[in-house]
Amino acid sequence: MPDLTINSGALSASFRPDLGGRLTRLTHRDYGDVIVPLTDVDFDPLNWPKAGAFPLFPFHGRLADASFEHGGRCLQLQPNPNRGTDAMHGPAHRRPWDVLKSTLDETVLTLNYKADPEWPFEFRAVQRFRICGSRMDIEFELTNQAGTAVPAGLGWHPYFISSLNNPIRCNATMRRKSSASTDPKDSWERRPLPVEPLSSYPFTEHLSDWSETSIASGRGKVEITRHEGFPFVVIHRTPNYTCVEPVSHEAGALGLPELAREGAGLATLRPLSTAIGRISISVNSNQSH
């Protein structure tokens, strides 16, 4: 299947709906690739390449022992064999999506998920991408179609091109004290992400109360802006890429007792109710470089 491409002004984006609704490329006319291009399209869906961007429905992060409580019962999911006994990042990026709309500058992808061993409840997911000039607006929706109230989260997992020399800034005011932990029971502190010397080492940070994150380089400045939903963001930096993952709940929230999940941001969605998240990505010149 060929890539589905949209463009307008300086930006161009390509997608593979059949590969989990993935964005495979985001390119700026002046600064080149913004996201690590997904070139290997023949991959194991349970062991995905560190490239492109994929949707996180209906949860993100690790789910310990692939089990959680719901309605007073313990529900067992099919674990990811590459993550031991755990499940991770939900199953939506391992399903083919449908193209609901495709124009020169906009595409809308949908997934009507049927209950299976990886997730026991039906839902409908939507991804909307629209490019205008040097900005791409993205909207995500998850509608509960299970006929009963269910836990429901959403998010997005992009791999931005970045090295350890590229400064990252985020205006989040809250961060998890143990940056290596994915346990939502760990405490949070009102301490912003330091600007320097983040360029000197890999890290993972779990943050909240944010609206903007930026990555600066000689290739331009990439800004990720939160507009609706997504009160949490996970920033994962390596020598070759940086993930800036806007998410609706804390990592590990699904594994909490039912009464504790809402405090960690994971909603219990009523039948036919919809959760929404909106962000934008802008690419501009970096005056400081």
Task: Work out the mean pLDDT of the chain and round it to a whole number.
Answer: 90
Residue pLDDT, tens place only, 52-82: 999 999 999 999 999 999 998 999 999 999 8
Rounded CA gap, 205 and 182, in Å?
A: 10
Q: Report the number of distinct structural domains present in the chain.
A: 1
> Is residue 289 a part of any domain in this protein?
no
Label the pairing between strands 123-132 and 135-144. antiparallel
Q: Which residues contact 225 (CB under 8 A, 6 or more apart)?
A: 211, 212, 279, 280, 281, 282
CATH classification at residue 77: 2.70.98.10
> Is residue 260 a part of any domain in this protein?
yes
- pTM for this entry: 0.93
What is the amino acid identity at position 278? R
Q: Is the pLDDT of residue 227 over 70?
A: yes
Residues of the domain holding 46: 4-284
Residue pLDDT, tens place only, 151-184: 999 999 999 999 888 889 999 988 876 554 445 5
pLDDT at 202: 82
Q: Mean pLDDT throughout 206-229?
A: 92
